[in-house]
Structure 1
Amino acid sequence: MERINKDIDITANSKDSMLPSGLPTRVLIVEDDEDDYLIIEACIRDIPEKEFLIDWCYEYDEALKRIELGRYDIYFIDYLLGARTGLELLRDAISLGCEDPLVLLTGIGNREVDVQAMTIGAVDYLVKSEINTEKLERSIRYALERSANIKALKANERKFRNIFERSKDAVFLGDEGLVFRDANGATCDLFKYNKEDLQQLSLYYLFARKDAAALLKARLHQTGEVEDEEVELLTRTKEKRNCILSISRQTDSSGGTYFQGIIHDITNLKRIERATFQIEKLRGTATLLRTLAHEVRNPLTNINLSVEQLKPELNSEDANIYLDIIARNCGRIDGLISELLDLSRPAEISLQKAPLQAIIDTTLAAASDRISLKGIGLELSYPDQPAYIMADIEKLKIAFLNIVINAVEAVPKEAGRIIVTIREDGPYYKVFINDNGAGIPDENISRIFEPYFTSKTNGFGLGLAATWNILQSHRASIDVNSQLGEGTSFILVFEQAS
Structure 2
Amino acid sequence: MFITAEPIRILIVDDDEDDFFITDSVIKDISGGNFIVHWCYKYTEALDHICHKRYDLYFIDYFLGAKTGLDLLREAVERDCEAPMILLTGKGNHALDIEAMRVGAADYLTKPELTVEKMERCIRYSMEKARSLKALRDNELKYRNIFERSKDAIFLADTSLQFITVNMATSSLLGYTAEELSNMTFYDLMPEEKEAESLRELIKTGEVDDVETDLLNKNGEERTCIFSATIIERPDGTHYVQGILHDITGLRKAEKSVLMAEKLAATGRLARTLAHEIRNPLTNIHLSLDHLRTSDISEAQLNYFGIIQRNAKRIGAIISELLDTARPSDMILQNTSLQDILDESITAAMDRIVLKNIKLQIRYPEHILFIPADKDKLKIAFLNIIINAVEAMEEEQGRLEVVVINHPHACEVRITDNGTGISEENLQRLFEPYFTSKRNGLGLGLAATLNILQAHHAQVDVHSVMGVGTSFVIMFRHKSREPFPQGGGSTAGDAAEKKLSS
- The TM-score, its normalising length taken from structure 1, stands at 0.90
Instruction: Verify the 8 A CA contact 1:398 1:467 in the aligned structure 2.
Output: yes
Any residues of structure 2 matched to 1:295-306 within 5 Å, and which?
295-306=277-288
Cα displacement (A) at 1:380: 4.5
Tell me, in whole angstroms, the C-alpha distance in 1 between the residues paired with 2:92 and 2:364.
68
1:147 aligned counterpart, secondary structure: helix
SS in 1 for 2:95: helix
Is residue 410–residue 438 contact of structure 1 (8 Å, CA) maintained in 2?
yes
Q: 2:41 — aligned with what? A: 58
Give the 5 Å matches for 1:470-489.
470-489=452-471
Hey, what's the Cα distance between the residues in 2 that align with 1:363 and 1:458?
A: 23
1:178 to 161, 183, 189: 161
Residue 430 (structure 2) aligned to one of 448, 457, 463: 448
CA deviations on 1:156-214 (whole Å, 9 max, x unpaired) are: 11222222222222111111111111122221121111222122211111112111001
> Match of 1:213?
196
Taking the aligned partners of 2:200 and 2:373, their CA distance within structure 1 comes to: 46
Alpha-carbon distance in structure 1 between the residues aligned to 2:53 and 2:389: 67
Q: Secondary structure at the match of 2:331?
A: coil
Secondary structure, aligned partner of 2:286: helix
Three-state SS of the structure 2 residue aligned to 1:249 is: strand
Q: 1:399 aligns with which of 381, 384, 402?
A: 381
Q: CA separation in 1, counterparts of 2:396 and 2:89?
A: 80
TM-superposed deviation, 1:304: 0.2
Q: Deviations over 1:420-460 (max 9, x none)?
A: 44444452333333333332111111211112322233544
The superposition leaves residues 451-477 of structure 1 with CA deviations (integer Å, 9 ceiling, x where unpaired) of 232223354422221221111011111
* CA gap 1:51/1:355 in 2 versus in 1, 3 angstroms: farther
Q: CA deviation at 1:482?
A: 2.0
CA distance in 1 between counterparts of 2:468 and 2:274 reads 41
- For the residues of structure 1 that align with 2:132 and 2:228, how far apart are their CA atoms? 32
- Structure 1: distance between partners of 2:37 and 2:346: 81
3-state SS of 1:200 partner:
coil
Shifted more, 29-38 versus 280-289: the winner is 29-38
Cα distance in 1 between the residues matched to 2:375 and 2:254 = 25
Are 1:274 and 2:247 matched, yes or no?
Answer: no
Determine the structure 2 residue equivalent to 1:21: 4
Residue 93 of structure 1 aligns to a residue whose secondary structure is helix
C-alpha distance in 1 between matches for 2:95 and 2:406: 57
Query: What residue in structure 1 maps to residue 114 of structure 2?
Result: 131
* Count, aligned residues: 479
Q: In the alignment, residue 38 of structure 1 is paired with which amino acid?
A: F
Once residues 211 and 396 of structure 2 are traced to their aligned partners in structure 1, the CA distance between those partners, rounded to angstroms, is: 41
**Partner of residue 166, structure 1:** 149
The superposition leaves residues 71-124 of structure 1 with CA deviations (integer Å, 9 ceiling, x where unpaired) of 211122223322223233222222222222122223343333333332232222
Q: Report the alpha carbon displacement of residue 358 of structure 1 after superposing the two structures with TM.
A: 4.0
Query: 2:3–2:33: 8 Å Cα contact kept in structure 1?
Result: no
Distance in 1 between residues matched to 2:196 and 2:229, nearest whole Å: 13
Report if aligned partners of 2:3, 2:34 keep a CA contact under 8 Å in 1: no
Corresponding residue for 1:151?
Answer: 134
Distance 1:23-1:453 versus aligned 2 partners, 3 A rule: same
1:98 aligns with 2:77: no
Give the Cα–Cα distance (whole angstroms) in 2 for the partners of residues 190 and 20 of structure 1.
54
What one-letter code is carried by the residue in structure 1 that aligns with 2:318? Answer: L
In structure 1, the residue matched to 2:268 is: 286
Query: Which residue among 233, 253, 268 is the counterpart of 1:251?
Result: 233
Shift of 1:298: 0.3
1:192 lines up with 2:175 in the alignment: yes
Give the AA of the match of 1:174: A
Q: For residue 9 of structure 1, what is the aligned residue in structure 2? A: none
Give the match's secondary structure for 1:23.
Answer: coil
- CA change 1:488–1:121 in 2 (3 A) is farther
In 2: Cα distance, 1:77 partner to 1:38 partner: 14
2:408, 2:478 → 1: CA distance? Answer: 9
The 2-side partners of 1:400 and 1:224 are apart by: 48
Q: 1:269: how far off?
A: 1.3
Equivalent residue for 1:5? none
Number of the residue aligned with 1:8:
none
Q: Find the aligned partners of 1:411 and 1:78 in 2 and give their Cα distance.
A: 83
Amino acid paired to 1:142? Y
Q: Say if 1:301 and 1:175 are closer, same or farther in 2 by CA, change over 3 A.
A: same
| 8 Å contact from structure 1 (residues 311, 320) kept in 2 | no
Greater mean deviation of Cα atoms: 153-162 or 365-374:
365-374
Moved more, 164-173 or 441-450: 164-173
With over 3 angstroms needed to count, the CA separation of the structure-2 counterparts of 1:76 and 1:279, relative to structure 1, is: same
Supply the distance in 1 between the matched residues of 2:429 and 2:382 (Cα, whole angstroms).
19
State the Cα deviation string for residues 20-60 of structure 1 (Å, max 9, x = none): 82111111222222222222222212221111111222222
Distance in 1 (CA, whole Å) between partners of 2:383 and 2:299 is 46
Is residue 153–residue 167 contact of structure 2 (8 Å, CA) maintained in 1? Answer: yes
| Higher deviation after alignment, 64-73 or 472-481 | 64-73
Note the residue ranges of structure 2 that are not aligned, 5 or more in a row. 481-502
**Is contact 2:411–2:477 with CA below 8 Å preserved after alignment?**
yes
1:368 deviates by 4.2
Secondary structure at the residue paired with 2:243? strand
Q: Structure 1 pair 24/347, CA: closer, same or farther in 2 (3 Å)?
A: same
The more displaced of 149-158 and 376-385 is: 376-385
TM-score normalised by length of structure 2: 0.89
* Structural RMSD (CA): 2.2
Letter in structure 1 aligned against 2:44? D
Q: Which residue of 2 aligns with 1:493?
A: 475
Say which SS state the counterpart of residue 22 (structure 1) adopts: coil
Q: 3-state DSSP class of the match of 1:278? A: helix
Percent of residue pairs identical: 51
Superposition pairs of residues 108-123 of structure 1, within 5 angstroms: 108-123=91-106
The AA in structure 2 aligned to 1:215 is S
- Indicate conservation of the 8 Å contact 2:3/2:32, yes or no: no
Matched, 1:312 2:307: no
